[in-house]
Structure 1
């Protein structure tokens, strides 16, 4: 199995700047004040890695990119999950999976709606409906491919308990209201 190397998130909660996280094998922490989106960030990462269409539909993001690595392997798989909204097709979640930098990308487009507008060969526009069965098969196929790259397990979330004293915590006043990531070596 490959291990997660890095995560890049664009458009998280409407932010203009991207979030880049270098993932360490030992431990990773997401630290920030209440309401800055720590839990939302973790839930988005989990939803993208597990192809959870309902969670991805509700999440506020444009793209989530993952890079993986394996000791002794030259391959570095890359997965990019994107959220697109168009008048014609509604909301779509796209997955682009590349097994290595030279391998062709495999694309999956999962429609959050079952209705789709398509243009026929003669230029006519028609509304077609994707069956629940077809969408379920697409999600199953996607999850099988993702499962060949990595195994998803849920991360525990620890919050400060009753003995947590915010006056004792060290905060950088210039970072107020911003989220940061920190890793242990």
Structure 2
């Protein structure tokens, strides 16, 4: 299993590599434990297929250098993301936020549709910030503000089911962002550190 995981890692298929390293670790492989730690240092892949897969999850950068992304997936009157979005967010923390950025000050701003209240929008922002921390958001990514703004700043109409769904969101804004600089020779060096059984 470890050798198969190495094959995937060396071919920029980190999801598959991680899966097989974990199986090898369950079977007692010490080399797989070491290799998984190396895999976690891999930068976000420049493989076009990987970037297409992650494109919707990478925060957009504005003219001021601030990051912004809107997270949707809240049920009407619900505080938590649906299960699919929760699981997706866990991966996004590790695969994007921790890999693309050295540090940032993050603000979580919750919103609701026009049938809900401000308290609920704050609870959404709090829950998402907690989920980011629980998912391993590194300490250098500081959560500096958590707000609820209710139904102000609607991103869509409140006259349709879809519009209200889009308004039930949390916006994450990153300020004072320091991006990671990647050296392709470091990436190749990491790949060369992987050990077969």
Name the TM-score, length of structure 2 as normaliser.
0.24
Which structure has more strand as a fraction of its residues? 1
